[in-house]
Amino acid sequence: MKNNELHQRRLAATPRGIGVMCGFYAEKAENATLWDVEGNEVIDFAAGIAVLNTGHRHPKVVAAVEKQLHAFTHTAYQIVPYESYVALAERINACVPVEGAAKTAFFSTGAEAVENAVKIARAYTRRPGVIAFGGGFHGRTSMTMALTGKVAPYKIGFGPFPGSIFHAQYPNALHGVSSEEALKSLDRIFKADIAPDQVAAILLEPVQGEGGFNIAPDDFMQGLRKICDSHGILLIVDEVQTGFARTGKLFAVEHYSIRPDIITMAKSLAGGLPLSAVAGRAEVMDAPAPGGLGGTYAGNPLAVAAAHAVLDVIEEEKLCERAEHLGRHLVEVLTKAQATCPFIADIRAQGSMVAVEFNDPHTGAPSPEFTKQVQDNALNAGLLLLSCGVYGNVIRFLYPLTIPDVQFRKALDILTDALTR
């Protein structure tokens, strides 16, 4: 079987709206390595878009899924419940940084988690409005497209979107948006668009994923918490991409001096199987009536078994500490490369949630062209990288936290060459 043959079959069989980045087709994978159908080997610094913090096919995850496969694969938890779901909720409740007792509900995708978080917030506050942020990404459903603060390619041709959704500015020092200015943009929304007593929730990623790995400053998070407390608004943090050790903490919000009311999570929760969750203050989570939350596949037993194994691996292999270690090393390499690569405008990092932004050194304008060159150079040498950012001029690094040291060093050599060629 050849990659080009599969490419032709894909074009004939699947719609163009499903954009595909790579021209090769996966056949097998192990930890941080992918092999395509022609036997070519690639170091995976994409990890299925931050899904594989514990790597491809971690032995403990595989064993847990295999064990569950021999018991049962589906009952629909809302019809016939099972202990593993309850036990996983208990584990999540014990570690989410919310005030007081917590409760957790499981779903299948990150978008589902965000959408249900909005449902819960509206049920609790009996208010319609939600404020999100420019550059944020929250999913591809109608509601989560409305919440997402990036037009291309996510919103083009899909409107109109649900109402009562508003966008504030997200702080970005490189682009001249301070925490103070970002907080003032909320005041403008309260004056011009919706009264604060009609806002159910403020929703944000503590580190924007698709938006370019922009990291919220602590004073901004404190300001949001104060605004929410003043007006009875719930603070929702979207940890779909930041969760499960990626930033050096189990959740990125643990880096801050505030606590949210609701947390959404997915991606690396189940090591490659589709599982998401909404966790929050118990009284908030109990607002919807029985039957108001759920889904046919929500909390699938195979995915729940995988998630238990993922939490074990994070603890046993000290992946939070490893995320810090690997991230520091990567930042050192990028900082050194900056001396010979004038396109590097900024390096941002929280643990192993690391990104590098490229601007044209002559004009200062974002350079998606150079970004693509770096990405192509790396892939040609066997390193898979992902771009992001509102202007497509950021490369983000999402390697498995379980990547062997020797392979990590090899990947950084490829990266250095791709940046400075």
Contact of 102 with 262, CB cutoff 8 Å: no
| Distance of alpha carbon 85 from alpha carbon 192, whole angstroms | 44
**Are 278 and 116 spatial neighbours (Cβ–Cβ below 8 Å)?**
yes
Could you give the CA distance from residue 278 to residue 112 in angstroms, rounded to a whole number?
9
User: What local confidence, expressed as pLDDT, does residue 416 receive?
Assistant: 97
CA dist 74 and 299 (Å) reads 9
Please report the pLDDT score of residue 53 as a whole number: 98
Domain ranges within the chain, ordered by starting residue:
3-57+318-420, 62-316
Span 3-57+318-420: which CATH code? 3.90.1150.10
Question: What are the E-state strand segments in 223-290?
Answer: 234-238, 262-265, 276-281
**SS3 for 277?**
strand
Count of beta carbons in the 10 Å neighbourhood of residue 259: 18
Low-confidence spans in the chain with pLDDT less than 50: none
Q: What is the largest CA-CA distance in the chain?
A: 63
pLDDT tens for 17-57 read 999 999 999 999 999 999 999 999 999 999 999 999 999 99
What pLDDT shows up at residue 70?
98
| pLDDT given at position 153 | 87
- pLDDT, position 85: 98
**Amino acid, single-letter form, for residue 379:** L
Query: Residue 151: what pLDDT?
Result: 87
CB 273 within 8 A of CB 309: no
Q: How far is CA 18 from CA 21, 153, 194, 218, 274, in A?
A: 10, 11, 35, 37, 19
Q: Which DSSP string corresponds to 70-134?
A: TT-S---TTTS--HHHHHHHHHHHHHS--SS-EEEEEESSHHHHHHHHHHHHHHHH---EEEEET
Provide the CATH topology of domain 62-316: Aspartate Aminotransferase; domain 2 (3.40.640)
The confidence score (pLDDT) of residue 129 equals 98
User: What is the model's pLDDT at position 159?
Assistant: 86
CA dist., res. 160 & res. 174, Å (int)? 32
- Residue 31 DSSP label: B
* Tokens found for residue 187: 């005041």
For residue 150, what pLDDT is reported?
Answer: 86
Cβ-count burial of 71 within 10 angstroms (0-12 exposed, 13-18 middle, 19+ buried)? Answer: exposed
Say what the pLDDT of residue 1 is: 85
Per DSSP, the residues of 88-102 read HHHHHHHHS--SS-E
